[in-house]
Amino acid sequence: MKSTEVDFFKTIEIAEVLNGVPHGVAILDRELRIVEMNSFLELLTGFTTADAKGVYADFILRTNIDNHGKQFCELLETGEFLSVAGDIITQRHKKIPIHFTVSPLNDESGQAVGLFMFLEDISLLQSFDKKRHSLEGVKDILGHSPKMLEMFELMPVLAHTDASVLITGETGTGKDMIAEAIHKASKRSRHPFIKVNCGALPEALLESELFGHARGAFTGAVKDKPGLFRLAHDGTIFLTEIGDLPLTLQVKLLSVLDDKEFFPVGGEKKVKVNVRIIAATHRSLRELVKRGEFREDLFYRLNVLRLHLPALREREGDIRLLLDYFLREFSGNLNKSIQGYSKNAIDILTAYHYPGNVRELRNIAEYAANIRVRILMSRKENLLQAVAVGVRLKKR
Amino acid sequence: MKVLITIRQHNVAPRFDATSEVLIALCEKKQVVGKPRTILMNRPSSEELCALIIKEDINIVICGGIEDSHLQYLVWKKIKVIDSVIGPYNEALRASNNGFLYSGTILPGAKQEGMTT
């Protein structure tokens, strides 16, 4: 170091530098006593640097991360750094979640002379994360009928376990949305959510899609394919229309559920995966089991947690809510000013039994938003046209 | 008057919720009467510690950092809590008996050599 540089550094007060850091900073000696604290940490802990100097750091910081100083002593010995989340308790009796980064401070000879502690207040981050986890998944699912409220209550419970979930319900009730919402609210939310329609592909192709294949396993297999199970590692795989899964693949799926490992098609090495399975079907698996079309053991394996989605006709009051929501959404997308439904249209629409459930209702609303012509139709005409009658246009 | 101090080795434990040992002393006329006894907790738990304080009919609790909910509970139960105390527990007990111990006190012994964990 040049002499001018040395002079420069001599003029800088270390405390002033630390005070410029917008997070808590502490410097500890080899005995793990406080040598220096910045003003941010003073505010955080409620102790002044003058009072804290010379006191064992754990008594000032009151963290939950250091087990009687053992961990910090190890850092001094090994020269490694520690990055861990924990909390502190302040003098104002608040428990604040903190991300701690602790690294050794070395002298010119490389000898550790103390520790540098960086304390980042992550309470805001955690509250956002909690909100995101709790709301993101369900924000798109509408309903205030008792059956839906029951389901909303059950969803966090399903999200916080790792057990398999079987979602049942008629077509168009929103099984896919619920599965994704459970994934998003779970601890696996940062990992992939992969949806597979078991009824969409022929058996041979489905096996290769799900479990992957080795190069040369069959004609056209020119390279290794990881398969959707491997892609969903640490995340969730959503098997929709599980009732359509061929019997041979049911055996393989059962072994994956039991052992969490499988052989890719034509592969010699077992692949281990950590995947949560959510399955859905609009068919009665119990009936399929009776008819011998679905394996009983797989049924019980999947049926750990069961969620039955109510049909739209069973959701009192939700039809009106959804009609308004979808009409507003589509009219917004189309940049049209639509006031709403006429009384006549509402009467027809709320009395309708919706065999296609929310999907059908959504299509009706989309049709209504698109067709703006007021034409008188009788009730005998098909429902979609009747809706078009009911949509009143705002006069510009 | 019964005093309970949350302890870690020779010091007041830094956190109420992480306390695994407590000292209970009977004090009269600024003096400790008899030999204080120590109790080892099954596991560190604020709730279990509060239950012990109530069960033992404690008048004064001397501790380190304590969360507001537990502090309010003890205050509601008419227990005097002197929190955020740093230093050797015998010094804390002496200061308490002499009426000189306040919340946030860093006792002189806290900065002495060898006063670590």
| Alpha-carbon distances of A278 from A177, A192, A285, A336, rounded to whole Å | 12, 13, 15, 39
Cβ distance B68 to A94 less than 8 Å, yes or no, reads yes
The two tokens of residue B17 are: 């919720």
Angle at alpha carbon of residue A53, lines to A50 and A57, rounded to 5°: 130
Half-sphere CA count of A186, side-chain side, radius 13 A: 28
Residues A222 and A176 grouped into a single domain: yes
Is the predicted pLDDT of residue A292 greater than 60, yes or no? yes
The answer to whether the CB of B38 falls within 8 A of the CB of B23 is: yes
A86 near B CB under 8 A? no
Cβ distance A56 to B110 less than 8 Å, yes or no, reads yes
User: Domain end: A290, A310, A330, which one?
Assistant: A310
Cβ distance B65 to A69 less than 8 Å, yes or no, reads no
Residues A190 and A301 grouped into a single domain: yes
Between A194-203, A304-313, B16-25, the lowest mean confidence (pLDDT) is in A194-203
Establish if A126 belongs to a structural domain: no
Q: What is the pLDDT of residue A280?
A: 93
- Report the gap between the CA of A41 and the closest CA in chain B (Å): 16
- Report the gap between the CA of A124 and the closest CA in chain B (Å): 19
Other CB atoms within a 10 A radius of the CB of residue B61 amount to 25
Read off the CATH number of the domain in which B64 is found.
3.30.420.130
Q: What is the pLDDT of residue B38?
A: 93
Is the predicted pLDDT of residue A228 greater than 90, yes or no? no
pLDDT tens, position by position, B37-85: 999 998 889 999 999 999 999 999 999 999 999 999 999 999 999 999 9
Number of domains in chain A: 3
* Mean of per-residue pLDDT scores for chain B: 91
Establish if A24 belongs to a structural domain: yes
Question: What is the pLDDT averaged over residues A327-347?
Answer: 76
pLDDT tens, position by position, A146-187: 888 888 888 888 888 888 899 999 988 889 989 988 888 888
Q: Report the residue from A33, A62, A95 with minimal CB separation from B64.
A: A62
Establish if B116 belongs to a structural domain: no
Q: Report the residue from A31, A46, A59 with minimal CB separation from B14.
A: A59
Establish if B117 belongs to a structural domain: no
Cβ distance B15 to A89 less than 8 Å, yes or no, reads yes
| Alpha-carbon distances of A68 from A32, A64, B4, B19, B42, rounded to whole Å | 11, 10, 22, 12, 18
Q: Which SS3 state, helix, strand or coil, does residue B55 take?
A: helix
Q: Tokens 């309470």 label which residue?
A: A123
A133 burial (CB, 10 Å; 0-12 / 13-18 / 19+) is middle
| Alpha-carbon distances of A198 from A15, A150, A184, A290, rounded to whole Å | 64, 29, 22, 20
A93 near B CB under 8 A? yes
Q: Which residue has the higher pLDDT, A126 or B2?
A: B2
Establish if B48 belongs to a structural domain: yes
Number of domains in chain B: 1
Residues A18 and A47 grouped into a single domain: yes
Between A150-154, A205-209, A258-262, A388-392, the lowest mean confidence (pLDDT) is in A388-392
Residues A145 and A291 grouped into a single domain: yes
Residues A155 and A193 grouped into a single domain: yes
Query: Looking at beta carbons, which residues of chain B come within 8 Å of A91?
Result: 65, 84, 103-104
Query: Looking at beta carbons, which residues of chain A come within 8 Å of B117?
Result: 56, 58, 68-69
What lies within 8 Å, CB to CB, of A9 at 6+ separation is none
Residues A236 and A143 grouped into a single domain: yes
Domain containing A357 equals: 313-393
Cβ distance B18 to A54 less than 8 Å, yes or no, reads no
Helix axes A146-159, A175-184, angle to 10 degrees: 40
Residues A208 and A342 grouped into a single domain: no
Read off the CATH number of the domain in which A382 is found.
1.10.8.60
Is the predicted pLDDT of residue A90 greater than 50, yes or no? yes
Handedness of CA A11, A16, A17, A20 (dihedral sign): negative
Question: What is the pLDDT averaged over residues A282-298?
Answer: 89
Residues A10 and A88 grouped into a single domain: yes
User: Domain end: A310, A337, A367, which one?
Assistant: A310
Query: Looking at beta carbons, which residues of chain A come within 8 Å of B6?
Result: none
The answer to whether the CB of A240 falls within 8 A of the CB of A175 is: yes
Residues A270 and A152 grouped into a single domain: yes
Q: Report the residue from A46, A69, A89 with minimal CB separation from B117.
A: A69
pLDDT tens, position by position, A18-58: 887 888 999 998 888 999 998 888 888 888 888 899 999 99
Q: What is the pLDDT of residue A381?
A: 45
Can you tell me the distance from the alpha carbon of B66 to that of B15, in angstroms, rounded to the nearest whole number?
6
User: Domain end: A63, A91, A121, which one?
Assistant: A121
SS3 assignment for chain A: CCHHHHHHHHHCCHHHHHHCCCCEEEEEECCCEEEEECHHHHHHHCCCHHHHCCCEHHHHHCECCCCCCHHHHHHHHHCCCEEEEEEEECCCCCEEEEEEEEEEEECCCCCEEEEEEEEEECHHHHHHHHHHHHHCCCCCCCCCCHHHHHHHHHHHHHHCCCCCEEEECCCCCCHHHHHHHHHHCCCCCCCCEEEEECCCCCHHHHHHHHHCECCCCCCCCCCCECCHHHHCCCCEEEEECHHHCCHHHHHHHHHHHHHCEECCECCCCCEECCCEEEEEECCCHHHHHHCCCCCHHHHHHHCCEEEECCCHHHCCCHHHHHHHHHHHHHHHHCCCCEEEECHHHHHHHHHCCCCCHHHHHHHHHHHHHHCCCCCCCCCCCCHHHHHHHHEEECCC
* Mean of per-residue pLDDT scores for chain A: 81
Establish if A388 belongs to a structural domain: yes
Residues A45 and A105 grouped into a single domain: yes
Residues A159 and A298 grouped into a single domain: yes
Chain B residues touching chain A at CB-CB below 8 Å? 8, 11, 14-18, 64-68, 71, 83-84, 86, 103-104, 106, 110-111, 115-117
Q: What is the pLDDT of residue A143?
A: 82
The two tokens of residue B117 are: 């964990």
Identify the CA nearest to A326 among candidates A352, A355, A357, A304. Answer: A357
- Report the gap between the CA of A60 and the closest CA in chain B (Å): 8
Cβ distance A59 to B86 less than 8 Å, yes or no, reads yes
Other CB atoms within a 10 A radius of the CB of residue B41 amount to 14
Query: Looking at beta carbons, which residues of chain A come within 8 Å of B62?
Result: none
A100 burial (CB, 10 Å; 0-12 / 13-18 / 19+) is buried
What lies within 8 Å, CB to CB, of A128 at 6+ separation is none
> Quick one: pLDDT band at residue A383, thresholds 50, 70, 90?
low
Residues A114 and A184 grouped into a single domain: no
Is the predicted pLDDT of residue A67 greater than 70, yes or no? no
ipTM associated with this complex:
0.92
Interface of A with B in 9-68 (CB under 8 A): 31-33, 46-47, 51-56, 58-60, 62, 64, 68
Is the predicted pLDDT of residue A387 greater than 70, yes or no? no
- Report the gap between the CA of B83 and the closest CA in chain A (Å): 8
Q: Report the residue from B65, B103, B115 with minimal CB separation from A89.
A: B65
Identify the CA nearest to A384 among candidates A394, A330, A170, A366. Answer: A366
Read off the CATH number of the domain in which A174 is found.
3.40.50.300
Domain containing B41 equals: 2-111
